């Protein structure tokens, strides 16, 4: 006896087709807004001469973290500039910044809600597991019918892939606030929102920053992979190197990604420390 | 109790069951089941059962019991950090368990300040901002709440620490901040949940003294939770003793010490003495006057009169204790023109060694009111212990 195969794939495709046709106006609007955002930020960053942006980033690193990170930033960015990867680096940075912002804006309310409602928590956690364990490439495929080939699709996939840690850590941070502090706030007659803004959020900030750091790192890795669906930036340099079998070019672009990753990581980590 | 005092909070029939079917558990308890049986049959814990007591305006009421006695649950029912399963808590005419969400917030803001065992200070706020918390929640203006918080910090001796963060302070100082936060709020009732239990003994004692002084000044209605009978005796105007979620005895420290309601309370009181190793010696006073063997009744009577005594201990030349002479017997002896008091002595008094534990002295006072004689191995009279001295000593027990 033959067990019929579950047509899971065709169901999903049907669903996606329905979504793309029903909500085409919505996806087109999102696409337009995102595209504009990317272009504006890109142009702004590229309008600055390389040395000026380097100086700006160095000062930021120095103020937020340490002189060492400032010097490191100058050296690292100088290497990227020297390799002629400045423009792709800026494009990648733009994608990371926008994707991270969108992810955080969406993640915070969800994370807070999941922390405050146990029922929502039980629904959301498996969804997050799903989002995180699904191979990242898979998100690229539905992105194309929604937003077409290009950077907007890259951002869509990146947001989905990088959002879970921000949600998770926000929820964790709020749930970690000691019971007695919640009791203290309650005992003095705090309303829900007073409790949230005066006690729960400030106390979960360090944990939330850890989540945001993770989100940025995931966004960076995804933005590179998204070159496969036409995203600009360092990823497309790597992608081109693969297609032309040029390991040297590939590693150069890869090293640029590493430098960018380290800069972003150290910067956000120190943000977390100074905020304590 | 004192009829003239106003009742501030009236707790009646208060029960709390931890579980989903409180009715079932209460029903079982009603039919006489024990806590453990209820847990076994319904899987629910009976936290409190049929608690009744009043808190008077301006008194410091101590709720005391061991861990698991339900005292923390009880104090949390008062401001509804925990919802009671049954019963009433009336404060100024409002029944707290039935208040709506908004009314509850209002009630908490107006009536309750709370001090917590582990301080529960907000680590992200300075000492000043912590002290301002309650006022901030109530929407008091910036400058006003700054001034109020500052003066309450001053009151608890934290002048100059306003800008520090809680983690920079010692435990004792942190709890002062907790107290300042509560005082600044100026709610009508102060709830203190094991407020001093996390502090080391010296600091704890110091805080107790300060609380007593503050209390003398402010006469704030206070409900104080503790597991420490010494602390309860030291600071409480009245004590509610809890055991397994039920009230065992309510009374002043003296009432509880002298008339323990049952064996449980009695064992508790003995525990106090033993833990402090109080002995007869610590409550002993020097003998104000003794009569000599061979003294005439008139001499003995004069000595008693001079020192305001109803009875006098009689010793021989080496201060060895011979007996006790009562004033009325002495005057009869004088009427009979007796030469010596030696034939009129009674032996119906208690004598103990200096190292006798204090808790044993209690039982001795219950039947007779003579001072207890303290003697050494050779029956030399060292001193006497009077009833008041034992109480004093017990009340002071925490100080050591």
Angle at B285 between CA B279 and CA B291, to 5 degrees: 125
- Rounded CA separation A34/A110 (Å): 22
Q: HSE (CB half, 13 Å, CA atoms) of B317?
A: 0
Looking at the domain assignment, is residue B270 inside a domain? no
Q: What are phi and psi of B291, to 5 degrees?
A: -100, 150
Name the more confident of B277 and B14: B14
pLDDT tens track for A26-82: 888 888 888 899 999 989 988 989 899 999 999 998 888 888 999 999 999 999 999
pLDDT tens track for B160-188: 899 999 999 988 899 999 999 999 988 89
B246, B367 in Cβ contact below 8 A?
Answer: no
Give the chain A residue whose CA is nearest to the CA of B109. Answer: A189
Residue B363 pLDDT grade (very low, low, confident, very high; cuts 50, 70, 90): low
Kindly determine whether residue B120 and residue A186, on different chains, have CB atoms separated by under 8 Å: no
Beta-carbon pairs below 8 A across chains A and B: 58
Kindly determine whether residue A186 and residue B123, on different chains, have CB atoms separated by under 8 Å: no
Kindly determine whether residue A180 and residue B122, on different chains, have CB atoms separated by under 8 Å: no
pLDDT at residue B366, as a whole number: 57
Kindly determine whether residue A183 and residue B120, on different chains, have CB atoms separated by under 8 Å: yes
pLDDT tens track for B325-352: 888 888 888 888 888 888 888 887 888 8
Residue A231 pLDDT grade (very low, low, confident, very high; cuts 50, 70, 90): confident
Kindly determine whether residue B120 and residue A188, on different chains, have CB atoms separated by under 8 Å: no
Give the chain B residue whose CA is nearest to the CA of A200. Answer: B122
Please tell me which of the candidates B109, B124, B137 has its beta carbon nearest to residue A203: B124
- Rounded CA separation A248/A140 (Å): 27
Q: In Å, what is the CA distance from B79 to each residue of A14, A61, B105, B287?
A: 56, 49, 10, 53
DSSP characters over B200-253: -HHHHHHHHHHHHHHHHHH--EEEEEES-HHHHHHH-SEEEEEETTEEEEEE-H
Place of tokens 């709720």: B63
A56, A116 in Cβ contact below 8 A?
Answer: no
Structure tokens at A253: 């672009």
Q: Which of B150, B153, B208, B201 is nearest to B177 (CA)?
A: B153
Looking at the domain assignment, is residue B202 inside a domain? no
Structure tokens at A60: 């930021």
Looking at the domain assignment, is residue B171 inside a domain? no
Looking at the domain assignment, is residue B384 inside a domain? yes
Residue B4 has pLDDT above 80, yes or no: no
Q: Given CA atoms A166, A167, A173, A174 in this order, what sign does their dihedral have?
A: positive
Q: In Å, what is the CA distance from A16 to each residue of A134, A187, B51, B234?
A: 17, 50, 62, 74
Structure tokens at B350: 């208690």
Q: Kindly list the residues from chain B whose CB atom is less than 8 angstroms away from the CB atom of residue A183.
A: 76, 81, 114, 116, 120
Looking at the domain assignment, is residue B213 inside a domain? no
- Taking the C-alpha atoms of B112, B113, B118 and B121 in order, what is their torsion angle to the nearest 10 degrees? 130
> Does the beta carbon of B185 lie under 8 angstroms from any beta carbon of chain A?
yes
Which domains can be identified in chain A, with CATH numbers?
17-47+83-274 (1.10.3720.10)
Residue B286 has pLDDT above 60, yes or no: yes
Beta bridge partners of B48: B16
Q: Which of B122, B136, B174 to mutate to test the interface with A (most CBs of A within 10 A)?
A: B122
Looking at the domain assignment, is residue B383 inside a domain? yes
A272: burial class by Cβ within 10 Å (0-12, 13-18, 19+)? middle
Dihedral-angle region of residue B221 (phi above 0 means left; psi in -120 to 50 means alpha; beta otherwise): beta
Place of tokens 């693969």: A242
Q: Kindly list the residues from chain B whose CB atom is less than 8 angstroms away from the CB atom of residue A174.
A: none
- Rounded CA separation B82/B69 (Å): 16
- Rounded CA separation B76/B225 (Å): 11
> Does the beta carbon of B31 lie under 8 angstroms from any beta carbon of chain A?
no
Q: What is the pTM of this model?
A: 0.73
Residue B106 C-alpha, separation from nearest chain A C-alpha, in angstroms:
7
B79, B225 in Cβ contact below 8 A?
Answer: no
- Buried b / exposed e over B33-53, threshold 16 CB at 10 Å, is bebeebbeebebbbbbbbbeb
Q: What is the mean pLDDT of chain B?
A: 86
Averaged pLDDT for residues B111-124: 93
* Greatest CA separation for chain A: 72
CATH number at residue B300: 3.10.580.10
Looking at the domain assignment, is residue B120 inside a domain? no
State the Rg of chain B over Cα: 27
Q: Count structural domains, chain B.
A: 1
pLDDT tens track for A159-204: 999 999 999 999 999 999 999 999 999 999 999 999 999 999 999 9
Instruction: Find the domain containing B387 and state its range.
Output: 280-399
Q: What are phi and psi of B280, to 5 degrees?
A: -55, -35
Residue B371 has pLDDT above 90, yes or no: no
pLDDT tens track for B186-242: 889 999 999 998 888 888 888 888 898 888 888 899 999 998 888 888 888 899 999
Looking at the domain assignment, is residue B268 inside a domain? no
Averaged pLDDT for residues B322-327: 86
Residue A259 pLDDT grade (very low, low, confident, very high; cuts 50, 70, 90): very high
- Taking the C-alpha atoms of A8, A9, A14 and A18 in order, what is their torsion angle to the nearest 10 degrees? 100
DSSP characters over B279-326: BHHHH-B--S-EEETT--HHHHHHHHHHHT-SEEEEE-TT-BEEEEEE
pLDDT at residue B144, as a whole number: 94
Averaged pLDDT for residues B149-157: 91
In eight-state DSSP terms, residue A196 is I
Residue A97 pLDDT grade (very low, low, confident, very high; cuts 50, 70, 90): very high
């Amino acid at each position: 006896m033959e067990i019929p195969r579950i047509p899971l794939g065709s169901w999903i495709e049907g669903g996606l087709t329905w979504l793309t046709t029903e909500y085409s106006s919505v996806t087109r609007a999102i696409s337009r807004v995102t595209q504009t955002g990317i272009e504006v930020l890109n142009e702004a960053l590229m309008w600055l001469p390389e040395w000026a942006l380097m100086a700006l980033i160095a000062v930021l690193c120095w103020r937020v973290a340490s002189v060492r990170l400032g010097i490191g930033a100058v050296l690292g960015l100088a290497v990227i500039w020297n390799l002629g990867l400045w423009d792709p680096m800026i494009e990648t940075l733009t994608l990371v910044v926008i994707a991270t912002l969108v992810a955080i804006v969406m993640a915070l309310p969800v994370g807070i809600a999941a922390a405050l409602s146990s029922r929502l928590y039980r629904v959301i956690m498996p969804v997050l597991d799903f989002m995180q364990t699904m191979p990242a490439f898979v998100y690229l495929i539905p992105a194309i019918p929604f937003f077409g080939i290009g950077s907007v699709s890259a951002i869509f996939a990146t947001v989905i892939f990088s959002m879970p840690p921000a949600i998770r850590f926000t929820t964790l941070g709020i749930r970690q606030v000691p019971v007695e502090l919640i009791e203290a706030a309650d005992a003095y007659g705090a309303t829900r929102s007073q409790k949230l803004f005066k006690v729960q959020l400030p106390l979960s900030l360090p944990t939330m920053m850890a989540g945001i750091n993770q989100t940025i790192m995931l966004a960076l890795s995804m933005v590179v992979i998204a070159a496969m669906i036409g995203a600009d930036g360092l990823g497309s340099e790597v992608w081109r190197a693969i297609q032309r079998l040029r390991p040297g070019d590939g590693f150069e672009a890869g090293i640029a990604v590493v430098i960018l990753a380290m800069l972003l990581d150290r910067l956000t980590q120190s943000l977390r420390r100074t905020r304590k | 109790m004192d009829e003239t005092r106003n009742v501030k909070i009236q707790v009646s029939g208060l029960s709390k069951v931890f579980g989903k079917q409180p009715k079932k558990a209460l029903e079982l308890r009603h039919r006489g089941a024990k806590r453990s049986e209820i847990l076994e049959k319904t899987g629910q814990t009976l936290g409190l059962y049929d608690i009744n007591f009043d808190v008077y305006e301006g008194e410091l009421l101590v709720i005391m019991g061991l861990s698991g006695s339900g005292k923390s649950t009880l104090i949390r029912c008062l401001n509804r950090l925990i919802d009671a399963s049954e019963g009433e808590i009336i404060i100024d005419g409002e029944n707290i368990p039935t208040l709506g969400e908004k009314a509850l917030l209002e009630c908490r803001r107006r009536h309750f300040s709370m001090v917590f065992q582990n301080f529960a200070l907000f680590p992200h706020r300075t000492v000043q901002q912590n002290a301002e918390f309650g006022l901030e929640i109530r929407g008091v203006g910036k400058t006003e709440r700054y001034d109020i918080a500052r003066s309450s910090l001053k009151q608890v001796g934290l002048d100059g620490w306003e800008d520090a963060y809680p983690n920079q302070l010692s435990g004792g100082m942190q709890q002062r901040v907790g107290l300042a936060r509560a005082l600044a709020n100026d709610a009508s009732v102060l709830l203190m949940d094991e407020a001093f239990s996390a502090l080391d003994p010296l600091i704890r004692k110091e805080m107790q003294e300060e609380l007593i002084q503050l209390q003398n000044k402010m006469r704030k209605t206070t409900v104080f939770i503790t597991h420490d009978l010494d602390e309860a005796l030291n600071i409480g105007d009245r004590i509610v003793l809890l055991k397994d979620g039920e009230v065992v005895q309510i009374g002043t420290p003296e009432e509880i010490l002298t008339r323990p309601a049952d064996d449980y309370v009695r064992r508790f009181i003995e525990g106090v003495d033993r833990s402090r190793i109080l002995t007869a010696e610590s409550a002993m006073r020097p003998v104000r006057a003794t009569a000599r063997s061979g003294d005439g009744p008139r001499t003995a009577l004069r000595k008693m009169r001079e020192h305001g005594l109803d009875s006098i201990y009689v010793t021989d030349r080496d201060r060895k204790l011979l007996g006790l002479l009562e004033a009325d017997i002495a005057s009869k002896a004088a009427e009979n023109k007796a030469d010596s008091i030696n034939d009129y002595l009674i032996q119906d008094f208690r004598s103990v060694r200096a190292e006798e534990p204090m808790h044993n002295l209690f039982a001795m006072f219950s039947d007779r009111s003579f001072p207890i004689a303290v003697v050494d191995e050779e029956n030399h009279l060292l001193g006497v212990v009077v009833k008041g001295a034992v109480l004093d000593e017990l009340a002071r027990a925490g100080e050591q």
